[in-house]
Amino acid sequence: MPDSNVTLEHVARLAGVSKVTVSKVLNNTGRISEDTRKRVLEAARQLGYVANTAARSLRGRPTQILGMVIPELISPYFAEVARAAADAASRQGYDLALFTTSRDPKRERERVGALLGGLADGLIIVVPIGAAGFLADLERSRAPVVLINHFGASTHLPVVRADSFQGSLAAVEHLLSLGHRRIGFVTGAAHSSQAAERYRAYQACMVAAGLWDEALVRPGDFTQRRGFEAGLELLSLPDPPTAIFAASDLTAFGVIDAARAKGLRVPEDLSVVGFDDIPAAAHAHPSLTSVAHPIQAMAQAAVDLFLKARAGQTVRDTLIEFPSRLVVRASSGPAPRRWP
């Protein structure tokens, strides 16, 4: 079990190096061999070491850097969150240091340890994927840490998130109101708590309408490629859907590609709805109906919570949840009277 009193000396002893070497690795300074760096990071991970940034600030000047850890930059949604956070931080005199995890829990812990080891004055983690124990370590560290879009394990850390459940309900109800009864769904990544919320809403809505059919659900991973594959699978069913709700806009674009490959028109033959309302959604052909999150407001709220924590104000157990909003565009229309 990680100990909140773990120090550089403990990490150095386990790694078989000096405290100076541990400090250099965690602060990413000096010339350290790759083998030594990995050994130190693994020791820090095993011990649950997270530097106490608050204590460090008492010994030296603040860095005026706010760290941010996101799963990946290839996602337009995460790129928008990072851009909005950078703007909000800049207005308060902070630069944003951005690290990615490639959705790897071990890499997430390493990046967080490096940022809180002296590279930054605090941290925003977007869609954290670490286990409950990792979040508990962050709580004990007393460092200013804010989570964005966390729906997983219970935590006392401050959380800013946007609704996924009600927005997904609105998406499916929109398609039902257009007369669709065979509505397919392409899920998000299996590890994503947001994806679970979107699937739960889709299932609840279809069950309530008496239309639940598990054959209309295909696993996804938020990517366009998987959206294309899942779209082809759904559209090849003996009784294919007349509408498909996708757990992300990129996935929805893949579904539209699949419809075109099958010779179908959107929305005349197939309606498609996405989630995230990334900038490309409004400019696609046809423009994509999507569920929007207020990313600018979310980023500002996260930076404000960081600043409050940095100033010594209590933000423990704070939850700020923003509503989502269905944006209806050209990709959704009335159900076709018959399949062509």
Whether omega for the bond prior to residue 144 falls within 30 degrees of 0, making it cis, is no
Higher pLDDT, 56 or 13: 13
Beta pairing partners, 97: 67
Q: Judging by DSSP bridges, how do beta strands 289-292 and 243-246 pair with one another?
A: unpaired
Mean pLDDT in residue range 23-43: 81
CB atoms within 10 A of CB 125: 29
Instruction: Say if residue 288's pLDDT is above 90.
Output: yes
What's residue 110's pLDDT? 84
Between the two ends of the chain, the Cα-to-Cα distance in Å is 61
pLDDT value at residue 89: 96
Q: Which domains does the chain show, CATH number per domain?
A: 1-49 (1.10.260.40), 53-162+296-324 (3.40.50.2300), 165-293 (3.40.50.2300)
- What's the pLDDT tens digit per position in 27-36? 766 788 888 8
Phi and psi, residue 188, nearest 5°: -90, -170
Kindly report the pTM of this predicted structure. 0.80
Question: What is the rounded distance in angstroms from the CA atom of residue 145 to the CA atom of residue 285?
Answer: 40
Euclidean distance between CA atoms 295 and 103, whole angstroms: 21
Please report the pLDDT score of residue 243 as a whole number: 98
Angle at 117 between CA 29 and CA 160, to 5 degrees: 130
Answer whether residue 223 shows pLDDT above 80. yes
Residue, of 306 and 13, whose pLDDT is higher:
306
Q: What is the pLDDT of residue 53?
A: 47
**Token pair for 10:** 């403990």
Q: Of 102, 105, 99, 110, whose CA–CA distance to 45 is shortest?
A: 110
Contact 95, 68 (CB under 8 A): no
Q: Which of 240, 272, 239, 268 is nearest to 255 (CA)?
A: 272
Residue % of the chain over a pLDDT of 70: 92
Q: Do the beta carbons of residue 188 and residue 195 sit within 8 Å?
A: yes
Which pLDDT value is given to residue 2?
Answer: 44
Over 90: is that where the pLDDT of 253 sits? Answer: yes
CB–CB of 205/176 below 8 Å?
A: yes
pLDDT band at 19 (very low <50, low <70, confident <90, very high): confident
Going by C-alpha positions, the residue among 280, 274, 290 that lies closest to residue 325 is 290
What confidence score (pLDDT) does residue 59 get? 46
- Which tens digits make up the pLDDT trace of 172-182? 999 999 999 99
Of the two residues 274 and 24, the one the predictor is more confident about is 274
